[in-house]
Structure 1
Amino acid sequence: MSIRSVAQELYQCMKRVEELEKTLASLGPNHPDRSELEKALAEAKRERDQLKGALEGAKH
């Protein structure tokens, strides 16, 4: 995968993390969707971190 495509994926993933964080911030602590969104956020952060690592590795 090229550096450019990794960077594009990373950008999209970072936007997804931002959206999930905003959504979670707007929900009350006992909202029924909160648990599912927290899981999705954790997965998005994992993917973001993997892509960051791949991009850093490709630069060196």
Structure 2
Amino acid sequence: MSVRALAQELYALEREVERLRHELKQAPPPRRDEIDLELLQATAERDRLRAVLRAKKEIL
């Protein structure tokens, strides 16, 4: 995957994490656990992709 494609995907994940954080603040208690799990998964994927992008940049 190219650096540009990784950066675009990372940007989309950043937006998704922010959307989920906002949604979590406004969610009713029964839905919070589900959103929290989605947030944890999105954050983990974002962090993984950030590390991949950082490693690719160091190679270049």
Count of residue correspondences: 58
Identity %: 40
Q: How far apart are residue 14 of structure 1 and its match?
A: 0.4
Q: Please identify runs of 4+ aligned residues in structure 1 that moved more than 2 A.
A: none
Return the alpha-carbon distance in structure 2 between the equivalents of residues 26 and 51 of structure 1.
28
Q: How far apart are 1:46 and its partner, in Å?
A: 0.2
CA RMSD of aligned residues (A): 0.8
Structure with more helix by fraction: 2
* Partner of residue 54, structure 2: 56
- Give the TM-score taking structure 2 as reference length: 0.92
| CA deviation profile, 1:17-52 (whole Å, cap 9, x unmatched) | 000000111135xx1111000000000000000010
